[in-house]
Homo-oligomer: A and B are copies of this chain.
């Protein structure tokens, strides 16, 4: 059995508050009493724990991170970057996969507060902003990553999603595509809305309209992307899209699989553009043209914003916007005649 602060207090015949003061050199503890307590701590091999410090109102050196799904390579790569930076600074990270479902978000946030985490990085889509407002009211430092909540004053690290969508549109337009469709993530997710907006604007600048029925909203799984892409590709050849912009690489893989199932060659019969540039994009058949996000930098900066927030609670909130980049690989080609 490890000694606790209670054992030390009992042995010294003082309160645990006095032991705490002796450890931290605070309060009115006589030098003699302090030395006596430290000697008892040594004898009992008592190590003040992070937990004890937390109860004393200090930091737990733990942060929570809410993301849709750690098994999505985009979030796994972001999480690794956050973890590495956190670890450098002496923090550890509790990963919470929400599947973008509000009830999972709420349960996890309650849990993280019970654990007195020092702060929370939010990378999940949250429809009900009151959830985040309550956290802020409770004094929980927050940072958003890859998601925005413009109605809140909160540190945010995002890729310029609108520009990303526009880059995808410009690439497809430059290849002569005019019948285009979108595989979108949930509209709950701000990044999805922004990517579609940018894509629509890019088309619009070339005089091409994007019909609402050409936007298929998916769950964020490959199977779901495939299912919705099969619907888009069920149209007769002269009506179906010749290019599909997918709001993440997983959906783009679903689109690749749908095209294969339909016998439509990619890129000759159908061009597909992804988003994220995860490890998946470089190993697909054919490799994916995709809009790259700087994942490592995003994770690092998000932790740094949270850490800044922990140190100066009243500081200015910053919104860091990173540049996306179109990586042309082999899933796009000139539109079929």
Residues of A within 8 A of B (CB): 2, 4-6, 15-17, 47, 49-52, 54-55, 57, 60-62, 69-71, 73, 76-77, 79-80, 83-84, 87, 90, 92-97, 107-108, 111-112, 114-116, 138-139, 222, 253, 256, 279-280, 283-287
Contact A286 B283 (CB under 8 A): no
A279 to chain B: which residues have CB within 8 Å?
A: 71, 73, 222, 280
- What CA separation (Å) do A90 and B15 show in the bound complex? 33
Contact A79 B73 (CB under 8 A): no
A50 to chain B: which residues have CB within 8 Å?
A: 114-116
- Additional A-B contacts beyond A71-B73, A256-B283 (13; CB < 8 A): A2-B138, A49-B55, A49-B115, A49-B116, A50-B116, A61-B115, A70-B95, A76-B76, A80-B97, A83-B96, A87-B108, A92-B115, A283-B283
Contact A92 B94 (CB under 8 A): yes
Contact A57 B4 (CB under 8 A): yes
A112 to chain B: which residues have CB within 8 Å?
A: 92
> Within the complex, which residue of B77, B116, B280 is in contact with A280, where a contact is CB–CB below 8 Å?
B280
Given contacts A60-B115, A71-B77, contact A95 B96 (CB under 8 A): no
- What CA separation (Å) do A228 and B155 show in the bound complex? 43
Given contacts A253-B283, A285-B287, contact A95 B83 (CB under 8 A): yes
The chain B residue with its CB closest to the CB of A111 is B92
- What CA separation (Å) do A295 and B246 show in the bound complex? 27
A76 to chain B: which residues have CB within 8 Å?
A: 70-71, 73, 76
A2 to chain B: which residues have CB within 8 Å?
A: 138-139
The chain B residue with its CB closest to the CB of A222 is B279
- What CA separation (Å) do A54 and B61 show in the bound complex? 16
Chain B min CB distance to A27 (Å)? 13
Give 12 pairs: A residue, B residue, CB < 8 Å, sorted on A. Answer: A6-B17, A50-B114, A51-B51, A60-B115, A62-B115, A70-B76, A70-B95, A71-B76, A87-B107, A92-B111, A283-B284, A283-B285
